[in-house]
């Protein structure tokens, strides 16, 4: 009878070992499937990461191109704005920003009055001071001239009113040489 018990015990032990082996096999198979799924997910994540990197690189290149295009258009718009402002100023304030007239020939310099002889110095001192010539500009033009803040603008304004170099020099109380210098510098 003990042999039956030993055989039964061996059978139970074998059955337990078989069940244990099957459960271990199931667990291993399940772990292998999970590892396979994990590897597949890792591969998908890696591909997705690479695709995102490529998209970011292409996006950065696109942004660079758009930035360059916008900068070139901005510089064109700034140049056009300057041109429009100049044209507007010439149209709205033709007195302050006249179109440059062609160069007029200069008048010959006036000769100085002869000096009185040494003995007649007393008579020369008693002579009345020379009268200032009346301005050829209208009161409105004089107001406009007073609003201008640079000599170049004032000279162009007076030239636009038809005054010659001598009259401009007298009006502004500066020399003709200074006027020529300002106009030459203005051309550059």
Q: Among 50, 144, 34, which Cα is nearest to 97's?
A: 144
For residues 163 and 136, the answer to whether their CB atoms sit within 8 Å is yes
Terminal Cα distance for the chain, rounded: 129
pLDDT of residue 17: 92
Q: Among 145, 124, 150, 125, which Cα is nearest to 135's?
A: 145
29-72 residue pLDDT tens: 999 999 999 999 999 999 999 999 999 988 998 998 999 999 99
Of the pLDDT bands very low, low, confident and very high (cuts 50, 70, 90), residue 140 is confident
By mean pLDDT, which of 24-28, 56-60, 95-99, 180-184 is the weakest?
95-99
Average pLDDT score over the chain: 81
What φ, ψ does residue 149 adopt, rounded to 5°?
-110, -5
pTM: 0.32
Is it the case that residue 147 has pLDDT exceeding 90? no
87-123 residue pLDDT tens: 877 777 666 555 555 555 556 555 555 565 555 545 5
DSSP 72-117: HHHHHHHHHHHHHHHHHHHHH-TTTSPPPPPPPPPPPPPPPPPPPP
Which segments of the chain does DSSP mark as H helices, in order?
A: 2-92, 121-126, 139-147, 151-160, 165-172, 176-187
Of the pLDDT bands very low, low, confident and very high (cuts 50, 70, 90), residue 126 is low
- CA dist., res. 14 & res. 118, Å (int): 155
Which residues fall within 8 angstroms of residue 107, CB to CB, at 6 or more apart? 164, 165, 166
pLDDT of residue 3: 85
Q: ∠74-78-81 over CA atoms, to 5°?
A: 135
Domain boundary assignment for the chain: 14-92, 95-101+136-188
């Amino acid at each position: 009878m003990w042999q039956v018990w030993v055989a039964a015990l061996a059978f139970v032990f074998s059955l337990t070992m078989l069940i244990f082996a099957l459960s271990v096999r199931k667990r291993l198979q399940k772990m292998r499937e999970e590892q396979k799924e994990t590897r597949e997910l890792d591969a998908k994540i890696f591909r997705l990461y690479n695709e995102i990197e490529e998209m970011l690189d292409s996006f950065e290149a696109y942004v660079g191109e758009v930035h360059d295009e916008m900068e070139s258009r901005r510089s064109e718009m700034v140049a056009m704005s300057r041109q429009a402002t100049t044209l507007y100023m010439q149209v709205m304030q033709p007195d302050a920003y006249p179109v440059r007239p062609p160069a007029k020939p200069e008048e010959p310099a006036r000769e100085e009055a002869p000096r009185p002889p040494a003995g007649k110095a007393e008579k020369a001192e008693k002579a009345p001071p020379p009268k200032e010539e009346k301005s050829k500009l209208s009161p409105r033009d004089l107001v406009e001239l007073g609003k201008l803040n640079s000599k170049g603008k004032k000279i162009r304004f007076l030239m636009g009113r038809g005054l010659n170099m001598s009259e401009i020099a007298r009006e502004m109380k500066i020399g003709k040489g200074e006027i020529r210098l300002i106009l030459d510098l203005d051309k550059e």
